Amino acid sequence: MLRPYRELAAIPGLTALLCWALAGRLHLPTVPLAVAFLVVGWTDSYALAGVVGGAMTLGMGVASPLRGRAADRKPATPLLLATVSGYAVGITALGLVPVLLPASAWPVAVVVAFLVGVSTPPVTQLSRAGFQRLASGPTLNAVFTVEASTQELTYVIGPAAAAAVVAVASPEIALWGAGVTAVVGALGFLRALRRAGIDRPVPHERAHGGPALLRDRSLALSFLAAGAIVASLVSIDMVIVALARDGGVPALAGALAAVWGVGSVVGGLVTGGWTGPMRFARRMFAMSLGLLALVPVLPPVVGLSPWSVGVVLVIGGLTIAPTIAANNSRIGALAPEGRKAEAFGWMATFTTAGPALVLPWIGRLIDGPGPAAAAAAAGGLALLGTVAASAVHVPR
């Protein structure tokens, strides 16, 4: 069971790359939580918080394929330095909007959030494409599983830290702190790329041509499944924020997100040692059931019980990292050589467009029927992703 992990640790530069990829993405779950607290406190509306958060994820989705394509063709250094600079400026401005403007000016926050999303450093695309250059076979599967598990650590550490800062300081400070983390993490990741010798793309005769990746049915369905995964998970994040805020305990959001992430990390580390095939559709279906299990323990079905919610989150979380890892591995296998970063860029588009489309709807469900209805919707989204995953043809 431990053999893939031993092989992973023996590859020069890979461990450092994994660690800095984690640091470079720590801000991704932190910023939406801070933005949600910021906008709800400013406008007193979860729906508007969903609109602002959706604008940010939409900006990420618009730019991701372009950044991925650039990473396939040009060195990583100028790409990362440019995006890091833009992201730092945007995060600073977004935190100042509620301080300087009245709540009626919320469209300004939507525009700034979109620009922040456009400027997000492409650490995810670069790291996943880089893994394919350093590992293969069962070791690569283990890499993707560890990567998914460490990604879940960001959902443990980031939201918990953001909620704590909100509780003792303010949403603005939490947002700016996340921005600092993004800058430091991206620069450290760039150094790890250089030390591993993969900061420049590998020349490939078909890297600049070929049909659009979205014309590949299996890739397109895998992208749709990825979008469903993230949309459903981000929906539960908003439910957690609502439970914490309406309960008058902001730190509860970080605690619930942390136990959810712990379950995911445990599930990922256990399955990462398996050498058999990753059965993505089965894992996706199991994740759907874990989300739907939240419905009977949420208001208005029952009164708020953090212990009950936490237990369900831990158990359901066991399926998250294995599901994400299986889809990442599948997309990496389906993408043509010389266009893997672009493929992961398209994946990022779908994983950001999904939340952008559903978060306003989820916000309305929370404002109206309540958190249980929002959790049911999240489970339904995951089931749609299961259907897409089942329809993918995987070459043998």
Helix (H) or strand (E) holding 311: helix 306-317
pLDDT of residue 89: 94
pLDDT at 154 over 80: no
**Candidates 1.10.3090.10, 1.10.3720.10, 3.40.190.10, 1.20.1250.20; CATH matching 3-202+213-390:** 1.20.1250.20
Highest mean pLDDT range out of 146-155, 225-234, 334-343? 225-234
Cβ contacts of 316 within 8 Å, gap of 6 or more? 260, 263, 287, 289, 290, 291, 293, 294
Pick the more confident residue, 24 or 141: 24
pLDDT interval class at 223 (50, 70, 90): very high
Cβ–Cβ under 8 Å, residues 381 and 231: yes
Share of residues in the chain with pLDDT > 70 (%) = 93
| Calpha distance 361→355 (Å, rounded) | 10
pLDDT of residue 275: 59
Pick the more confident residue, 197 or 249: 197
Chain segment 230-247, per-residue pLDDT in tens:
899 989 988 988 888 877
Mean pLDDT computed over 299-308: 85
Chain segment 97-142, per-residue pLDDT in tens:
998 988 889 999 999 999 999 999 989 888 888 887 887 777 777 7
pLDDT at 229 over 50: yes
Q: What is the DSSP letter of 304?
A: -
Amino acid, res. 305: S
pLDDT of residue 57: 78
Mean pLDDT computed over 146-165: 78
CA distances from 131 to 11, 78, 311 (A): 11, 20, 34
pLDDT of residue 2: 61
pLDDT of residue 365: 92
CA dihedral sign of residues 97, 100, 106, 108:
negative
pLDDT of residue 207: 46
pLDDT of residue 208: 47
- The chain-wide mean pLDDT, for the chain, equals 85
Chain segment 33-88, per-residue pLDDT in tens:
899 889 988 988 888 888 898 788 788 888 888 888 877 778 888 989 999 999 99
How many Cβ atoms sit within 10 Å of the Cβ of residue 9?
Answer: 13
In the block, tokens 């089965």 appear at 282
Share of residues in the chain with pLDDT > 90 (%) = 29
Q: Which residue ranges make up each domain of the chain?
A: 3-202+213-390
pLDDT interval class at 304 (50, 70, 90): confident
pLDDT of residue 276: 63
pLDDT of residue 351: 83
pLDDT of residue 224: 93
| Calpha distance 394→330 (Å, rounded) | 8
pLDDT at 297 over 70: yes
pLDDT at 204 over 70: no
